Amino acid sequence: MPAPRWFFRFLYDRESAAWERRRDEPEQRALVERIADRLANVVAPPGPVADLGCGPGAHALALARRGYDIVGVDGSPRMVEVAKARAARDQVAAAFDTQDVGARLGFADASLGGVLAILVVQHLPRPAAFVAEIRRCLRPGGHLLITAPARARITSSNLYWRLRATCYQAAPGVVRFYDSDSLRRLVEEQGLTVVESDAEPGRVSVLARA
């Protein structure tokens, strides 16, 4: 049974400062740039692009610097505050909004050229409905880049990852784990065409086209 939504909102509000610091680590900055490049290879600017579950805004800011019209959305008000502050500090034109990404998304039908969903689907009680909403919002030929946690390598000093590793055995559904096949099926069953999928330690990803 999935954890209540307030649990993850509380957790991410609590962890916002740590996530902001982590995104500034060289390894994390390099990962953010690779993810932004991967979407930029298939979506021409200005997009527009939505970053769902944007956290402190690193991916959205990386895309904004590349000339994309980007909106970052997150269910944690504190994460959104951090993202807005970073955008203002760096003088980057990126918009951010607090919104439950597990509900109907605040974008018109066929209005987006691209969507990022980085390590967010694992929290949602209805992952298929989430991907279906993304499909609704993508224009024909638009692309989704989605990542999810893999079961391997689940230990970390970060509070979120410690809780994820601890709680999953006691309460399956607090966080879902995926592999390349299950994430691919989730995306394909909502009418998207998988362009590529891959796995790296701790996460799997799928790039798909509407």
For 96-136, write each residue's pLDDT tens digit.
999 999 999 999 999 999 999 999 998 888 999 999 999 99
Helix runs in 41-177, H state only: 58-65, 77-90, 127-137, 159-170
The reported pTM is 0.81
Does residue 172 surpass a pLDDT of 50? Answer: no
CB-based contact 194:207 (threshold 8 Å): yes
Residue 44 pLDDT grade (very low, low, confident, very high; cuts 50, 70, 90): very high
The beta strand positions in 17-109, using DSSP E, are 49-52, 70-74, 95-98
Radius of gyration (C-alpha) of the chain in whole angstroms? 16
Q: Residue 29's pLDDT is what? A: 85
Q: Give the mean model confidence (pLDDT) for residues 72-89.
A: 93
Q: What backbone torsions phi and psi does residue 146 show, to the nearest 5 degrees?
A: -125, 140
Q: Residue 8's pLDDT is what? A: 53
Q: Residue 27's pLDDT is what? A: 76
Residue 140 pLDDT grade (very low, low, confident, very high; cuts 50, 70, 90): very high
Q: Residue 97's pLDDT is what? A: 97
Does residue 137 surpass a pLDDT of 50? Answer: yes
For residue 80, give both structure tokens. Answer: 């959104």
Residue 201 pLDDT grade (very low, low, confident, very high; cuts 50, 70, 90): confident
For residue 57, give both structure tokens. Answer: 């805004």
Average pLDDT of the chain, as a whole number: 84
Neighbouring residues of 12: CB distance < 8 A, sequence distance ≥ 6: 19, 55, 74, 75, 76, 78, 79, 160
Closest by alpha carbon to 117, among 79, 85, 158, 74? 74
Residue 157 pLDDT grade (very low, low, confident, very high; cuts 50, 70, 90): very low
Does residue 87 surpass a pLDDT of 60? Answer: yes
Residue-range domains of the chain with CATH:
5-209 (3.40.50.150)
* Alpha carbons 201 and 40: distance in angstroms, whole number: 23
Angle at 208 between CA 119 and CA 188, to 5 degrees: 90
Does residue 154 surpass a pLDDT of 80? Answer: no
Q: What percent of the chain has pLDDT over 70?
A: 76
For residue 117, give both structure tokens. Answer: 């969903």
* Alpha carbons 61 and 96: distance in angstroms, whole number: 10
